[in-house]
Amino acid sequence: MQLFYLFLGVCVCVRVWDTWEDCVPNTVVLEKCGTTGIEAHILQVQFHWVGHVVRMEDYRIPKQVFFGQLAAGKRLAGGPLQRYKDSLKVNLRRCSLDPKLLCLDAQHWSGWRSTCRAAVAEFEAARIEALQDKRALRKQAVHTGAWACSSCPRICSSRIGLFAHMKIHPK
């Protein structure tokens, strides 16, 4: 997801940046566009589809595959690959929905839809708040390190900056 948000930021913002002061966080861009993040969209579609599958007749193949279990065989040892059901349970918990009540809640189409929208909106608000807190904490960080060049009186604010600066001095 982070790579997608980076791509989104580049596509939307790079053409309007004149200086680094013009850069804005992704949360501001999404707010100005009046949309939510891609993660919220994916969760919304996933929950909508699962509700559709739960309401299907029992003889339909998607429902049989979704609720079926293997009669024989075993999963890989170590770190088995996640099934769709496993990732769905994780996403339901992230949105404060109980996976055990999925079959009961999804039976009523309008109730399930409003429940999913509210849960995803709450998830997105919490995600944006966490990102804003993380950014504020990063911006408040005090940089106490000062790295002095041994060849000239320059003082660099980071070790990697000093390393880059040292390349201009002959050895």
> How far apart are alpha carbons 124 and 26 in whole angstroms?
13
pLDDT digits (tens, 9 = 90+) for 122-150: 999 999 999 999 888 877 766 567 888 88
E strand or H helix at 119: helix 109-140
Whether residue 2 has pLDDT greater than 70: no
- CA torsion angle for 56, 57, 58, 63 (degrees, to 10)? -20
Contact yes or no for 117/123 (Cβ under 8 A) = no
pLDDT digits (tens, 9 = 90+) for 44-100: 999 999 999 999 998 998 888 888 776 777 777 777 777 888 889 999 999 999 999
Q: What does pTM read for this prediction?
A: 0.68
Structure tokens at 115: 């429940």
